[in-house]
């Protein structure tokens, strides 16, 4: 094994050895997506939600250049509290390892690492995608091209509503990424229940999603991800009028301050959290916890017996 090889947390090593269901979790939500001190509390709640629904959480990140699948709690605390944590997409992983940084993995990096580790299900909040005005800026998340070549189920609440949702769905189609709604033919809009677009497929149960995973493996034809849009119930969404007004204000601030690239999403999410007096933060937390619970149930359904029979799982 090379000196830069992926390392596994003890709880994930035990789960892999015993054939127990594992759910991958990203770390950018800890370091860049949520404000302190909520970020550490929520990171722990996400992991506990996965455990409560029968699977083992594997939060992925980099500590001192070491890529780890299954961060331990002190390592999560380190990423949550440190300044200057690098935001790592797939292209950054080797450089970051060689330079020995602390880093948090994006949707793209987490998906790719999880697939390399043999983990089939990943829970996140919202995907990256095509940014507004991308026809002029060419600003498009690496999430999309990575998912085109990564066989994983991504449980999400659609793409972040600060993006161009329609263009993102078009790109996913072009790239051959499967998209389905969980219990709906409408694509969710992250903070809001309905993102304004239909999807071709609806999946209704964790076992049905597990069958999609099995069919993909058996057919050996498509190598891309399944993006599973899990919408918030309408009574739990951010008020759509508040959402639209806050987004318009945030886009004006982006243009005024010349903010581009990786800084766009953290800036707009922080603007939402501040402008809605914490309401969007509450919604954001509900999103990730619901997705973590569903991802765990899918992982259980996809895991052969006897591992899926409900044994007590390691912490």
**Catalytic site positions:** 26, 160
Give the dihedral sign, CA 134/135/138/143.
positive
Q: What span, in angstroms and rounded, lies between the C-alpha atoms of 25 and 47?
A: 8
Neighbour-count burial for 256-293, b at 16+ CB within 10 Å, e otherwise: eeeeeeeebbbbbbbbbbebbeebbbebbbbbbbbbbb
Q: What span, in angstroms and rounded, lies between the C-alpha atoms of 272 and 201?
A: 31
Q: What span, in angstroms and rounded, lies between the C-alpha atoms of 20 and 18?
A: 6
SS3 154: strand
Residues whose CB is less than 8 angstroms from the CB of residue 51 and which lie 6 or more positions away in sequence, other chains included: 57, 296, 313, 315
Residues whose CB is less than 8 angstroms from the CB of residue 303 and which lie 6 or more positions away in sequence, other chains included: 19, 20, 21
């Amino acid at each position: 094994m090379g000196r830069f090889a992926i390392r596994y947390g003890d709880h994930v090593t035990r789960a892999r050895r015993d054939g127990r269901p594992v759910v991958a979790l990203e770390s950018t939500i800890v370091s860049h997506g949520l404000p302190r001190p909520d970020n550490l509390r929520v990171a722990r709640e996400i992991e506990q939600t996965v455990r409560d629904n029968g699977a083992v959480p594997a939060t992925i990140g980099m500590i001192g250049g070491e890529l780890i699948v299954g961060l331990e709690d002190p390592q999560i605390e380190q990423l949550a509290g440190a300044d200057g944590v690098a935001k790592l997409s797939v292209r950054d992983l080797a450089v970051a390892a060689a330079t020995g940084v602390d880093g948090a993995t994006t949707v793209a990096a987490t998906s790719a690492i999880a697939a390399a580790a043999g983990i089939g299900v990943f829970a996140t909040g919202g995907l990256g995608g095509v940014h507004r005005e991308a026809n002029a800026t060419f600003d498009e998340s690496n999430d999309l091209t990575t998912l085109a070549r990564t066989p994983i189920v991504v449980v999400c609440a659609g793409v972040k509503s600060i993006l161009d949702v329609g263009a993102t769905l078009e790109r996913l189609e072009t790239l051959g990424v499967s998209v389905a709604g969980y219990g709906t033919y409408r694509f969710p809009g992250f903070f809001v229940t309905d993102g304004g677009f239909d999807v071709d497929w609806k999946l209704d149960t964790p076992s049905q999603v597990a069958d999609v995973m099995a069919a993909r493996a058996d057919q050996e034809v498509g190598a891309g991800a399944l993006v599973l849009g899990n919408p918030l119930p309408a009574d739990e969404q951010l008020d759509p009028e508040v959402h639209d007004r806050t987004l318009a204000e945030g886009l004006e601030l982006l243009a005024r301050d010349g903010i581009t690239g990786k800084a766009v999403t953290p800036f707009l999410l922080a603007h939402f959290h501040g402008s809605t007096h914490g309401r969007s933060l509450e919604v954001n937390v509900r999103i990730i916890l619901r997705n973590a619970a569903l991802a765990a149930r899918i992982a259980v359904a996809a895991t052969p017996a006897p591992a899926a029979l409900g044994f007590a799982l390691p912490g």
